[in-house]
Structure 1
């Protein structure tokens, strides 16, 4: 099968979407398929060392989020003849914005089906980046925008049942399938916490909590910092390592100072998945998380695969990731500062509990392997093609129309 993916974002821009694209594409290649990814060109991005093809399209600055870029559509046109000759079986759009419309145009030009992954809960996201407009208006706009885009394509892949239910409430009737992103268990089976501690001057016996995410307002990291302030009253030497970058970083660092946590927080920026991130996870006695807007929550699985106990709320996609793991790898807590702090203190203080949770966390992560979930996505591709994914670019007649009832594929 020949798959053409298109996205508004990819590495070196670190996001869950970038990770999902990379994970699926690598697995497709391992299973004998072909992938071409169309993605923005970033300053200093250099060469792409991937087993799949990446076409970098010149892009321009995005004022509301300096980390992101906008594809330049005219620069894609020079690749049209090359793409037409490649005989793709389908187009997989990974993000909305320009990639959505460019992907639709490519699918029409190539006469192949088009599916889209809905990775981000935009209703809880956009108003943080356009603060001069009323948040209620932005949520309404996000719902309308999402429904219109999802009803434009042949099929939708969503990472959680919770996100699918949201789309159904929006009025999306396109065939859909719940297919989470898996994790590369081999990669997240090794990590040296002592090496991370030595690199950052952290004492071997200092209690450490770890949080990994984009530093964005919708991630609820301000709540985690308030929890840390409560933990500090009982474990004064506690350290929270915050990994990531994003528009909320300066505000979060200021909040940490205001809460008297300057010596209890370490903001590392992004860490590469070359061992640095894995070492960081393993340096923690526990991984803490409280996002309300995750459509999945890959970082929870990464931490658990490395044997790091999780203390987290369970909302949207994180509830599905942690299903069956409560007290067996994770402590699931409500969004209550004192309750969250109490459970984190338990993990930090009780070696026997920590050891038991670590074993359970590793076991829980095994069912989220990247190869198995890639096979599910490939099966979905085959259904969307109606058995016609054979490299000829032909779409079966039963999928030729948009807006087939969602029940055709289910969740």
Structure 2
């Protein structure tokens, strides 16, 4: 098969979950199929490049993906326009990622022949648009729901999103979750010097809810004064978070490590920690949860309607789901810290099922089904 991915960001130039999914699946599918990826030209000069078997087509100079805490609407418009103008080959399957929505419409126009058009859903926002983009909520909801009418073929990465989409419109929904490189994570050694009681990994933006983590830590250190947390990642909230840590009197308990370019360095620090603190209120999947489990540590996340990461947790086995309050989160952090050693084996067992090789086989089966009209 000739397969084409459509998405504006590229791994490892951008290290988000969607980019990582396409890269990991693409390089595995390319062993048996011809895989292409249409994106911005993140690598610099040249209209095309190749990475681990994936042929990558650049649509001009990249545009900033974010404007503060939200995705840059202008970036989505530029990507859509360049996609519309680009001469594009014929493919057996076109897999267009749902976000940032606008590009899916010109993509459907460009691939309007006999090819099979698939949209992969990482999240479904619905009424959340009112909170995310108050002035543009109506347009956002229309663009999102309109994607369900572009094709009958949809891949969904989480059961929570699958259930929400099925309530809106019927379709050929295939459940193909995200995955992890289980053997690579197992091969990384724990960091010899940086050892933490808890670690957070993610972009420092509002919905990641790191402010609540710091407030929970304030409560926790009253019982365990030496409790230390590493925060791996960067973003527009970093200065605010560092200021809050000083105000709360816990600055000595928190290390802001910033963005670590090498994934192995992230895994190494996660492995040297007792648990992953993941208080995010909105996750389309929560890949870092599985990566932490593959590193042998449990996860504490929060119960929120848009947090699909909770579906990866079996309470008391590979982690805990807390109330979205500092008090509730502090309680579960302490519980996971105490029980971390005995949660290692079940965490590893659950994570292994999500190895990228298994996920690639599932996606290939779905592609073959829609390509053959079954």
1: CA distance, partners of 2:247 / 2:236: 19
Q: How far is the alpha carbon of 1:119 from its aligned partner?
A: 1.2
2: CA distance, partners of 1:93 / 1:219: 25
Q: In the alignment, what sits opposite 1:194?
A: 191
1:237 corresponds, among 206, 211, 226, to 226
Q: Does the aligned pair in 1 maintain the 2:84–2:110 contact within 8 Å?
A: no
What is the TM-score normalised by the length of structure 2? Answer: 0.87
Q: Does the aligned pair in 1 maintain the 2:101–2:147 contact within 8 Å?
A: no
Q: How far is the alpha carbon of 1:121 from its aligned partner?
A: 4.0
Q: How far is the alpha carbon of 1:124 from its aligned partner?
A: 7.1
Q: Structure 1 residue 254 and structure 2 residue 252: aligned?
A: no
Q: Does the aligned pair in 2 maintain the 1:8–1:98 contact within 8 Å?
A: no
**Closer, same or farther: CA 120–249 of 1 in aligned 2, 3 Å:** farther
3-state SS, counterpart of residue 254 of structure 1: helix
Q: How far is the alpha carbon of 1:241 from its aligned partner?
A: 1.2
Q: In the alignment, what sits opposite 1:210?
A: 199
1:276 corresponds, among 260, 265, 270, to 265
2: CA distance, partners of 1:122 / 1:263: 37
Q: Does the aligned pair in 2 maintain the 1:8–1:97 contact within 8 Å?
A: no
2: CA distance, partners of 1:360 / 1:251: 37
Runs of 5+ in structure 2 lacking a partner? Answer: none
Q: Structure 1 residue 312 and structure 2 residue 267: aligned?
A: no
3-state SS, counterpart of residue 291 of structure 1: coil
Q: Does the aligned pair in 2 maintain the 1:190–1:306 contact within 8 Å?
A: no
Kindly report which structure 2 residues correspond to 1:7-406, keeping only aligned pairs within 5 A, or say none: 7-11=7-11, 12-30=13-31, 32-42=32-42, 49-58=51-60, 59-61=62-64, 64-65=67-68, 69-70=75-76, 71-72=78-79, 75-76=82-83, 80=87, 83-84=88-89, 87-94=90-97, 95-108=99-112, 110-123=113-126, 130=133, 133=134, 138=137, 140-169=138-167, 171-195=168-192, 198=193, 202=194, 207-315=196-304, 316-322=307-313, 325-348=314-337, 350=338, 353-385=339-371, 387=372, 396=373
Q: Does the aligned pair in 1 maintain the 2:318–2:347 contact within 8 Å?
A: yes
Aligned length: 363
**Closer, same or farther: CA 273–50 of 1 in aligned 2, 3 Å:** farther
2: CA distance, partners of 1:214 / 1:124: 23
Q: Does the aligned pair in 2 maintain the 1:151–1:174 contact within 8 Å?
A: no
3-state SS, counterpart of residue 277 of structure 2: strand
Greater relative contact order (Cα < 8 A, sep 6+) = 1
2: CA distance, partners of 1:245 / 1:43: 22
2: CA distance, partners of 1:268 / 1:125: 31
Q: How far is the alpha carbon of 1:375 from its aligned partner?
A: 1.4
Runs of 5+ in structure 1 lacking a partner? Answer: 388-395, 399-411
RMSD: 2.8
3-state SS, counterpart of residue 5 of structure 1: strand
